[in-house]
Amino acid sequence: MDALERYIREMSTPQHETLAWVERQSWLRTSHGRQVSGPEVGALLRTLVRLMQARRVLEIGTFSGYATLWMAEALPEDGRIDTIEINDEMEDLIREGFERAGLSDCIRLHIGDALDLLPTLDERYDLVFIDADKREYVAYYQSVFDLVRPGGLIVADNVLWDGKVYGEDIPRDQQTRGILAFNDLVAGDTRVENFILPLRDGLNIIRKK
Ligand SMILES: C[S@@+](CC[C@H](N)C(=O)[O-])C[C@H]1O[C@@H](n2cnc3c(N)ncnc32)[C@H](O)[C@@H]1O
């Protein structure tokens, strides 16, 4: 953690102890703990859910359920989150965190490929958080677009991709190309207004008109 990150954390409301537990377990029990989005992104998502008074939220890419819990905490009593994770090995950790937080009732975990599951969801979402396979961001966006209510938000994580999507010498790997194609698509989409927030690895904040 660098000095800026430390200062920001110290000057912000601390995360709930269950969130700290999930973050820690993500590092201890998986080999890719850095996939957790972190307290700054979590707090932003929580604030968006609160400000929008969102009742229906969808997350694509649960991992350990860390961001899910930030958003779930901000839901009203009749609110619900659908969250989709392809890796069934994560299920025990995810459910343990939901239980510990006492938020299992408002979260529906779907294990499977989001591209198969999205067409089966019969819901209108206030907010969708896209945070799964970077190669598939365009496909997620296209699949989810009609499920978002007018005025609703799509928030996509990692859209600055560690700086690989701008400047010279842009790598040609599929993940980088996936993010480039996604950002291009959104920038040219007249059905939305958007901006990229350079928080952590970059969030594309997209409002459906
Ligand atoms: C960056 S992690 C998600 C982090 C989590 N949203 C958070 O904020 O803590 C990405 C997750 O997406 C999952 N994933 C990748 N492709 C997927 C797909 N097609 N459908 C559902 N989940 C997928 C991965 O298994 C991984 O757990």
- Span 67-110, pLDDT tens digits: 999 999 999 999 999 999 999 999 999 999 999 999 999 999 99
pLDDT in tens, 31-77: 999 999 999 999 999 999 999 999 999 999 999 999 999 999 999 99
| Residue to probe by mutation, ligand 1, list 24, 26, 63, 140, most atoms within 8 Å of CB | 63
87 CB less than 6 Å from ligand 1? yes
- Checking 193-201 for CB contacts under 8 A at 24+ apart, the result is 196/159, 196/160, 197/44, 198/160, 199/40, 199/41, 199/44, 200/37, 200/38, 200/40, 200/41, 200/157, 201/157, 201/158, 201/159, 201/160, 201/161, 201/162
pLDDT bracket for residue 167 (50, 70, 90) = confident
Q: What is the total count of domains within the chain?
A: 1
Report the percentage of the chain scoring pLDDT > 90.
97
Residue 20 structural domain = 3-208
We report the CATH number of the domain holding residue 88 as 3.40.50.150
Residue located nearest, by CA, to atom 16 of ligand 1 = 133
Q: What is the pTM of this model?
A: 0.98
Q: Could you tell me if the CB of 61 is within 6 A of ligand 1? A: yes
